Structure 1
Amino acid sequence: MWAKNFARIVFCLYRASSGALFHRRSYQVNTGFECALVGAASFDAGHFSHERFGTTVAVDGGYASLRKAGFAADFALGDFDSLGYVPLDVPIERHPSMKDDSDTALALDWARLRGYSSVAVYGALGGRLDHTHATIAALAGAAHAGMRVAAVGEGNVLAVLSPSCCDVLELPALPSGTFSVFSLSDEAAGVTEVGAKYAAEGVALRSDVTLGLSNEFVGRPVRIELASGMLAVYLPALPLSSMRFGRR
């Protein structure tokens, strides 16, 4: 989709001969995530096993997913309607089934109130489309509150950029594959992509356009920047530890 919009927005195909991939910038860089939330949807246990988290929270049916894969939860939270019973071997926070927030949103709020600044969410993408949409909304709310958040599905990762938490994302060099960016606010301004097949500089993306669909990795590191608004970045199933989040 990027390639079809040259007439509307100036894009250029990045060439290695044009100079360094990344200009020198001064910003704080963070890697890794302090806390993992595991929900009841499809759980990528292989991806989870290669990450290191200080705390793992089972969100309702995520308790069963963790146990089945041989992992232990440090805490469990939710109304436990998906699980069908209340865990007895970990501390819990039980919520009524009639409530105004999803279990994932409640778990993100639980993490924020306990001082976690970076949270990875597993088992909350895929399955029911409305549940996935609710997860994306919950991630946006957490990012707006200043948390660095990402969600891992089967074969994909979703990261959220916002000036409230992090407005730069650096990705490793991949020989192939695609990534997409979409606005989670009315407009995401100053979107810049460097190192991918199609480079963007200071582009404004509205929430009702598909311009950010399917840019490509071409064997170079990629950097994505955001000036204002909020941006969803859809990626292949990269290790979270390979992603560098920055704040200018």
Structure 2
Amino acid sequence: MIINILAGGPEELLPDLTEYMKENVKWLGVDRGVYTLLSKGIEPEIAVGDFDSVNGEEMLFIEQHVDELQKFKPEKNETDMELAVEWAIRQNPQKINIFGATGGRLDHLFANIQLLLKPILNKKNIDLELIDCQNNIYIKSEGTYEIKKTPDRKYVSFVPITLSVEGLTLTGFKYPLTNCHIPLGSTLCISNELIDDRGTFSFHEGIIMVIRSCD
């Protein structure tokens, strides 16, 4: 099962959501993202948020079209997105895709990127990815991973989010690496490119963020 989460970020930054409408997919709307889903003809199975970004008419429309509505007070310890991600993780899917979570406020962007750590911190084998029209972002702990070349995401960057990443090795890339120490704050691994149809990245200690981007 795949769970797709749509938040209320700028619609112009969304990818084509029809590409993610596959079998065995559940949609979850967050705050204004619920209204956006409904306006695109996608009915979410659940809606989560304090809904402070929709007006009364839009809220009524949401209430009429969503069976399960989890409405929270604005004064709470978690963001709407965190509540949504926690719900999604409890469903134990294979993958969670997050849309509408970039653009606008930088505090929300950094908070949403930090949420990518939740499966690792909770020892869950769930792929969690943040996607917009220009970027795919995900986080990995130590291991060996395959990565495929895709024309619409030419650039691949590796950003340590622990004090260091140890033993980073890149194969199939324009700028390969072998058993490198990458400290926090390093820009060594920004804007690499795959030269083979498939490549691999591996490391034996730390946590790394992978960003696939286009211009």
Q: TM-score, normalised by structure 1?
A: 0.73
The letter for the 1-side match of 2:111 is A
Residues 113, 64 of structure 1: CA spacing in aligned structure 2 closer, same or farther, 3 A cutoff? same
More strand by percentage: 2
SS in structure 2 of the partner of residue 134 of structure 1: helix
SS in structure 1 of the partner of residue 83 of structure 2: helix
Equivalent of residue 118 in structure 1, options 68, 80, 95: 95
1:158 and 2:137 matched: yes
Higher mean Cα deviation, 98-107 or 113-122?
Answer: 113-122
- Counterpart mapping for 1:180-219 below 5 A: 180-219=157-196
Rounded Cα–Cα distance in structure 1 between residues aligned with 2:177 and 2:147? 16
The offset of 1:48, in angstroms, is: 2.4
2:49–2:70 contact (8 Å) kept in structure 1: yes
Q: Which runs of 5+ in 2 are unaligned?
A: none
Rounded Cα–Cα distance in structure 2 between residues aligned with 1:152 and 1:131? 15
The offset of 1:219, in angstroms, is: 4.5
Partner of 2:198: 221
Rounded Cα–Cα distance in structure 2 between residues aligned with 1:130 and 1:37? 19
Q: Which runs of 5+ in 1 are unaligned?
A: 1-32, 238-248
Rounded Cα–Cα distance in structure 1 between residues aligned with 2:138 and 2:182? 17
Runs of 4+ in structure 1 deviating by more than 6 angstroms, as ranges, are none
1:63–1:83 contact (8 Å) kept in structure 2: no
Give the count of matched residue pairs. Answer: 202
The letter for the 1-side match of 2:45 is D
Relative contact order higher in (CA < 8 Å, ≥ 6 apart): 1
Partner of 1:36: 4
Rounded Cα–Cα distance in structure 2 between residues aligned with 1:184 and 1:235? 16
Q: TM-score, normalised by structure 2?
A: 0.84
Rounded Cα–Cα distance in structure 2 between residues aligned with 1:116 and 1:174? 25
1:171 and 2:147 matched: yes
Rounded Cα–Cα distance in structure 1 between residues aligned with 2:201 and 2:159? 12
Equivalent of residue 49 in structure 1, options 6, 11, 18: 18
Provide the identity percentage: 23
The letter for the 1-side match of 2:96 is V
SS in structure 2 of the partner of residue 228 of structure 1: strand
SS in structure 1 of the partner of residue 16 of structure 2: helix
Higher mean Cα deviation, 44-53 or 63-72?
Answer: 44-53
The C-alpha deviation readout for 1:19-38, integer Å capped at 9, x for no partner, is xxxxxxxxxxxxxx611111
1:140–1:184 contact (8 Å) kept in structure 2: no
The offset of 1:74, in angstroms, is: 1.2
Rounded Cα–Cα distance in structure 1 between residues aligned with 2:54 and 2:139? 28
